Structure 1
Amino acid sequence: MRRGLLNALLAVFVFVSFAALSIAQNQAAEEEDKKAFPCHSLPRENYTCAACLQFHDSCAWCSRVGFEDANQHPRCDSVERLRLHGCGDEHIEKPQTSMQITKDEPLANEGTEESDAVQLKPQEILVNIRPKAKVKFNVTYRQAIDYPVDLYFLMDFSFSMKDDKNMLSKLGDSFAARMRQITKNFRLGFGSFIDKTVMPFIDSRPEMQTCCRRKEGMPCMEWCAPPYGFKNQMSLTTNTERFSEEVKKAEIATNLDSPEGGFDAIMQVLSCNDVIGWRERARKMVVFSTDAGFHYAGDGRLAGLVEPNDGRCHLDARGYYNQSLDQDYPSFAQLHQKIRERKANLIFAVANKSMHLYEQLRDALPDISSSVGVLADDSSNIVELIEGEYRKISEKIIMVDNAGATQGLKLSYRSKCLGTRVNDTNVCDSIKVGDEVTFEVTLEATHCVDQRDFVLKIGPTGLDETFNINVHVMCDCDCAKEDIVRNSSNCNYKGDLVCGICTCSGTNVGRKCECDAQGQSSTAALDAKCKRTNESAICEGRGVCNCGECECNTRDNVFEKFSGTFCECDNFNCPRHDLKICAGHGSCDCGQCTCNAGWTGRACDCTESKDSCLSANGKVCNGHGDCICGRCRCRLEGEDSRYSGPKCEICPTCPTKCAEYQPCVMCQQFKTGPYDIAKCAACPFTVIPVKELPISNDTQKCNFVDPADGCTFYFLYHYNEMMNNMTVWVRDDKECPGPVPVLPIVLGVTGGIILLGVILLLLWKLLTFLHDRAEYAKFEKERAEAKWNTEENPIFKQATTTFQNPAFGKKQQ
């Protein structure tokens, strides 16, 4: 039973796996088809030449009349496939993306008053581009020698900056000289700012207007000039010697709160192009020096100034900002827009306590060349600070463009800068004078908009020099402007023939304007009536939509047909068995089998007859299963769960009747066992004592040991299913075991133990003897090899010593 269940589950798993694999393969095939022929995915509701060109940059359109009717191939396809299907080149619409350099002056290394330096190459190109297409080109930048620089020094002249003002007047000449070392083409300007002259920004009392105080409530330390918003002290000029004089003549003023009106000043400096004197082809630098924060849009409401800043120039004849009391402070966005418009560079020379604030301001101005430097308490480091920050700005190139404000176009950049590895970046650092940097620019037309012609500008931030891209996006077909046939016969005189297809007039719709819209707005609306769902294909891809109704295609096999409102049904895509649709026992009706009488199942492969499920006892599946599809399916619950086999006749774990009949046999034949007289009388059979048990294949033999005497008894039973009765035969005598020989067993065990002890003792004695012999032989061998020497002891000395007189025995002379 369990094996059959496992086989069934395995079959289901294999079927599901193959089905999933088939679906995945179909999806993969569809994806590959879309990649290979992307133009085929053009929606039918927008099937025009212009839509084809805009759909993919590889798409082309065949404008030949009757092209689709002749070969059933789409008009929107690749050029190669259109040619293959018989569309001549004269009918193919595929504008080509192109690029042409229209201005390419060589890079000029030096700029003078008479001629401008050229730092970008080329200067202008013309691009004709298709939607979804890309064009790549290179732009080279080289920093020129002595490139013009216009530097405007904008300084906070509140009382806390008095020491800085004095120091700047002393260092003015050295500052100008240092800048001329960087570039000879240099101009310098100067302006100052305080704040809006209204409470709560200043003390409006007349007696306090000219009183400079260090702290609130202290007497005047000295007399100052009346406060003002901003004043242009000196316009940009090559006469840099005036700088120190103008700084010295400018007067310190006072205000109440800590933030100053620096944003007003920056806005006027950048807006008043003619008054300040900015040159078009020059690096524009604004040095902003202060020891305090800044007011911005919204702060003016504290003084009742609700009119937003208009971002225009408002300087009177004396150079004062005359709208300080009428307009609010500029916002960050206005400031950012004005800096980008003027292409200016900002250097914030600020006190250490305000450093963090101006770093945040710098980060809030994206795509702007700006830097922040720490100003000494008395501005004694102003010359070195400006020189260092200027070099940081000038050595960093950030290529920016105006594509962000243009819909449908996108620019991206790649460059090696001064290295060897190409990166996706528009920023290059450490660019010295004379270094050339090339940017690879990619122009992409993402989609079409109403506008067709654009002018894109690319250039380094902070410079007015730009590279112009004149872009024409080719969204339209020439055939839509020419060769239009009005009220064409191909359109049943109900529409115009444009690019080979009909543009219907009035309420007429359809491929040939053959249908009346009947309240529908377009052919697409009628086609929608031929779709089962919004995502479905028209007529499920098995037919054509004729005025809102599906006409199903025919098959090569005349016995195979499509049917249904949306051609969604057929008579050949039903489950098969033995390679036959519906196993040959039914008919295919819209994907489902309708079985003949006597057959059932998904594929009509199951017979309703139960003859093949009858077991030997005449029962269906032996009474332990159900006959399904002509085969036994054994039950999985209760006692039936133990049965298996083709007809549920196998039960390897089922117990026999021996244990059940044992108590009855014992009480009836031997008067023993657990049953009393009452239970014994209730037994369903009466035993038949015999000398020898009969031998038969239909009987079951049983044997048990009687606990009362330890003897074994045997009996045999047979169940007659036809008579529904039980016969039990029992052998009238038991088999009892003989007496146990206790004495021989005891003597044998005792003798065995003694014998084992003697054997172990002898074995120990033998091992000891062999060990002693080996030791003795070793001793004899060592004694034979020993050598005994008889030499004297080297440290032994005799007790007596003999001396000889050297003069004894010699003759006298």
Structure 2
Amino acid sequence: MAAMRARTLAISLGLLLALGSGQREPYAEVLDPEEAPEREDLLPSGACRRVTSCKECILSHPRCAWCKQLNFTALNEAEDRRCAQRQELLARGCPPEELEEPRGRQEVLQDEPLGHQGATQLAPQNVRLQMRLGETQRLRVRFRRVEGYPVDLYYLMDLSYSMKDDLERVRQLGHSLLNQLRRVTSSVRIGFGSFVDKTVLPFVSTVPSKLQHPCPKKGECQPPFSFRHVLPLTDNASAFKHKVEQQNISGNLDSPEGGFDAILQAALCQEQIGWRNVSRLLVFTSDDTFHTAGDGKLGGIFMPSDGRCHLDADGFYSRSGDFDYPSVGQVAHALSTANIQPIFAVTSPTLPIYQELSKLIPKSAVGELKEDSSNVVQLIMEAYNSLSSSVTLEHSQAPPGIHISYESQCKDTEIRKDTGTQGQCNQVLINQTVNFWVNIRATECLSGPHLLKLKALGFSEELSLELNTLCDCNCSDVQLQAPYCNGVHGDLECGVCSCATGRVGPRCECSEAELSLPNSGCRPSNGTGPLCSGKGQCHCGRCSCSGQSSGDFCECDNAGCERHEGILCAGFGQCVCGVCHCDANHTGPACECSKDTSKCMSQNGVCNGHGSCHCNQCRCLEGYYGIQCDQCPGCKTPCEKHRDCAECEAFETGPLASNCSLACAHVNVTMSPTPLLDDGWCKERTVDNQLLFFLVENEADGRVVLRVRPREKGADHTQAIVLGCIGGIVAVGLGFILAYRLMVEIYDRREFHRFEKERRQLNWNQDDNPLYKSAVTTTINPQYQSQNEGSSG
């Protein structure tokens, strides 16, 4: 038992010495070793699983190794102790040549220099990659935009009736466009194609007369068609002009056009179009939107586009009525696969729609086309320059378990981590070199070599990357019926025995029949408890411990110590029989506490005098916080702390005025009539809301020296302000009253004038009231009459 403990301590001491030596072993041979990420020496506890075969070991972690040395494990140790990180195995006595440790590496098979033969833009061109599972390989890819790179441009035009004026412009396009492109490259070719829409209802009228002449007005007009390839790519501008002059306008019924059919056929029919392996541009001109997948059902077309070329001998899309329009994703995939960069030259009403479409199609551009296409050459050149100066590196479909990310370095700036699955650099100048770092990690074993393609969108060159995963050991000690394994009872491979049926034990030394015998040698002398403490197996009266257990009866657990932040013994000690043996500068049950105090020290002492140092971290007093307890939100600032004393000493006012001599005995105040006010001066408001300016000149030894600026005496304007406010209120009130009276007066006068006007317009005599009727009966008093008569007689 004592010998076992001594051996365990010796192994632990050897491991500490190995870890302290600072030796590092590279695990991947990269193109530039200085750029490879530095690996850590310590692995998290349990990273190397306790397994019994070399293959399982190397699959557990990319830094795990297997010791195949014979007799490496002690008699009471299981063979799974052979799996550990390299430093630990070396410290335990495993010779370096006995370590089985497959390493990931990169092998450059072809690396033509950039600019080679005037056309090489992407390097390297062929790389073979060997990867351990979980290991990240960092591959550097260089790109240089060369001058005069060849260009193929295919002009695809909408020939619906609304594009009649544009056709006249395009007929004169060939020479000017070729001349502009030849300023950029000496090798340029141009082709032409046109489209209208599917020749079925409701897209095109199927009335025979309308099929022959679909245009709304008389004149030259050709029958409608879906797509027609007119001119293969050529450097002859006259041939372009001649072919385009033969084209006539056509027509359809609805607004959206069949442009997607045309784009797809132009990308798929590469032989007919005549595409070279150079920069490929497809200029798409239209003044309307496009039909997409599903619209074909309106015309009774239900079969999805099959993604194949269907051009007949005359260049027409022969099966337009059989297949539905392609989807946006199908068009984007076809363009990307054919390495074609589309330029959408469209009129202003449809510009927002095509801008959204461009976001879904890699390496595409959109420009606003004038109503008569007069700016098409300028638009194409601007789009070409924009596309050529944008470099996007992407990869083909990766197999399951392969994860790829990108980092970019553009214009000698710092390395930037790209989002998504592409590397991106914009505004790349001619002859400028940009770097991409491709990070590749495998989490599953590949069945065999897998070829992955890396390419810069819009450029013809590719990088062929052969991926291989290292998922097995290549041990050279394979021996059948090895004497080490008791001859016929076992075979030797990678330092361990593979026993025949019926045999067990590290060296196949026991038969299964012997297992039925009493196992007294696998229990302590008192004979109690499970065999091998329940942490191993009893073989022929001897415990073979598993995992991190050790001892004659596997009673010691070398992985049962306390952990800190999930790391056994915090990574600063060794676990021996359940107890952490800490390094010299660490302490604590999990070695989590550093004895160093450097992080606690400040100019004002330990934790600025506001806390204590524990495990090289400050524990602050209540009210203080910060790494060194240097912050206190509830504490007064120096200006707030000396404000009251500055006020009472200088002006005999403030909250301390009655007790200034005692409360501010440590303060010496001098008046400065014309101070230079800068950021060092305190600007505080007193209780009576006046500004107080002072400067704290010294706070040493408990004495405080302040310099105070005298207050500026000014006139008391309180009475004037009060009278002004009252006068303003009275004036506003009088103004409202006068305004009200004026409005009433105006209203009354207006009503009076209206009344007078109506009276003057009356056409009857006001003296004859039509409503008045006089009395019709007259009563005579007879007495009155007789009296008159008598008197008269």
**Fold match by TM threshold 0.5:** yes
- In the alignment, the residues of structure 1 paired with residue 363 and residue 370 of structure 2 have an alpha-carbon distance, to the nearest angstrom, of 23
Match of 1:89 among 82, 87, 96: 96
Choose from 513, 527, 535 the match for 1:543.
535
Q: Is the 8 A contact 2:76 2:542 kept in 1?
A: no
> In 2, Cα distance between the equivalents of 1:311 and 1:505?
58
Mapped pair 1:36 → 2:42 = yes
**Residues 48 and 64 of structure 2 are in contact (CA less than 8 Å); yes or no, is this contact kept in structure 1?**
no
- Is 1:99 aligned with 2:112? no
Contact map agreement 2:48 2:61 (CA 8 A) in 1: no
Amino acid at match of 1:67: F
Residue 300 of structure 1 and its aligned partner are, at CA, apart by: 1.7
Q: How does 1:232-247 map to 2 (within 5 A)?
A: 232-247=229-244
Question: Against the structure 1 CA distance between its residues 546 and 208, is the aligned structure 2 distance closer, same or farther, given a 3 Å change threshold?
Answer: farther
Mapped contact 1:543–1:550 kept (Cα < 8 A): no
Deviation at 1:436? 1.8
Q: Which residue of 2 aligns with 1:51?
A: 56
Structure 1 residues 191 and 488: alpha-carbon distance in aligned structure 2, compared to 1, 3 A threshold: farther
Give the deviation of 1:472 after TM superposition: 2.5
Q: Is the 8 A contact 2:531 2:538 kept in 1?
A: no
In the alignment, which residue of structure 1 is the partner of 2:403? 410
Which of 223, 227, 236 is the matching residue for 1:230? 227
1:457 counterpart residue number: 453
TM alignment of 1:263-274, pairs within 5 A? 263-274=260-271
| Greater mean deviation of Cα atoms: 505-514 or 150-159 | 505-514
Give the superposition deviation at 1:541. 8.2
Q: Distance in 1 between matches of 2:111 and 2:329?
A: 35
- Distance change in 2, residues 1:495/1:200 (3 Å): farther
AA partner of residue 407 (structure 2):
R
Matched positions, count:
496
Q: What is the DSSP-based 3-state SS (H/G/I as helix, E as strand, rest coil) of the residue aligned with 1:203?
A: coil
Superimposed CA distance per residue, residues 610-631 of structure 1 (whole angstroms, 9 cap, x where no aligned partner): xxxxxxxxxxxxxxxxxxxxxx
| 1:435 has 2:432 as partner | yes
- For 2:94, what is the secondary structure of its paired residue? coil
Taking the aligned partners of 1:349 and 1:539, their CA distance within structure 2 comes to 82
Q: Assess, with a 3 A threshold, how the Cα gap between structure 1 residues 347 and 71 changes in structure 2: closer, same or farther.
A: farther
1:151 aligns with 2:143: no
CA contact (8 A) 1:109 1:144 kept: no
1:57–1:131 CA contact under 8 A, matched in 2: yes
Which residue in the other structure is 2:417 paired with? 424
SS at the partner of 1:323?
coil
Q: Secondary structure at the match of 2:417?
A: coil
Contact 1:132/1:444 (<8 A) preserved? no
Kindly provide the CA deviation profile for residues 22-57 of structure 1, in whole angstroms up to 9, marking residues without a partner as x.
xxxxxxxxxxxx99344744445x643222212222
The amino acid across from 1:500 in the alignment is: G
Contact 1:305/1:325 (8 A) holds in 2: yes
In the alignment, the residues of structure 2 paired with residue 300 and residue 48 of structure 1 have an alpha-carbon distance, to the nearest angstrom, of: 61
Larger radius of gyration: 1
Q: d(CA) in 2 for partners of 1:420 and 1:561?
A: 58
The structure 2 residue matched to 1:60, chosen from 41, 60, 65, is: 65
Report the Cα offset of residue 198 of structure 1: 1.1
Identity %: 34
Report the CA distance shift for 1:194/1:561 in structure 2 as closer, same or farther (over 3 A).
Answer: closer
Deviates more, 1:495-504 or 1:317-326: 495-504
1:430 offset after TM fit, Å? 1.3
Structure 1 distance, partners of 2:233, 2:487, is 75
* 1:179 maps to 2:194: no
User: Per-residue CA shift, 1:203-242, capped at 9, x if unaligned?
Assistant: 111111133345xxxxx44452111111110000111222
Describe the SS at the equivalent of 1:471: strand
Contact 1:288-1:346 within 8 A present in 2 as well:
yes
**3-state secondary structure, aligned to 1:68:** coil
Measured in 2, the distance between the counterparts of 1:408 and 1:556 equals 37
Cα pair 1:63 1:500 within 8 Å, conserved: yes
Q: Which amino acid aligns with 1:60?
A: A
Alignment partner, residue 283 of structure 1: 279
How far residue 120 of structure 1 moved from its aligned partner, in angstroms, is 1.6
1:23-422 maps to which residues of 2 (within 5 A)?
36-38=42-44, 40-44=46-50, 47-70=52-75, 72=77, 74-108=81-115, 111=118, 117-214=119-216, 220-222=217-219, 224-280=221-277, 282-365=278-361, 368-402=362-396, 404-422=397-415
Inter-CA distance 486–450: structure 2 relative to 1 (3 Å threshold): farther
For normalisation by structure 1, the TM-score amounts to 0.55
SS at structure 1 position matched to 2:171: helix
Q: Deviations over 1:594-644 (max 9, x none)?
A: xxxxxxxxxxxxxxxxxxxxxxxxxxxxxxxxxxxxxxxxxxxxxxxxxxx
Structure 2 unmatched ranges of 5 or more: 1-39, 514-529, 561-793
CA distance in 2, matches of 1:557, 1:356: 76
CA distance in 2 between partners of 1:210 and 1:62 (Å)? 85
CA distance in 1, matches of 2:393, 2:212: 48
**Offset at 1:511?**
6.9
**Tell me, which stretches of 5 or more residues in structure 1 are unaligned?**
1-33, 112-116, 215-219, 518-537, 570-813
Q: What does the per-residue CA deviation read over 1:146-166, in whole Å, with 9 as the maximum and x for residues that have no partner? A: 101000001111111111111
CA–CA separation in structure 1 for the residues paired with 2:250 and 2:117: 43
Decide whether the 8 Å contact of 1:210 with 1:253 is kept in 2.
Answer: no
2:473 is aligned with 1:468 = no
Change in 2 beyond 3 A, CA 1:228/1:74: same
Query: What's the TM-score once normalised by structure 2's chain length?
Result: 0.57
| Contact 2:233 2:274 (C-alpha < 8 Å) held by counterparts | yes
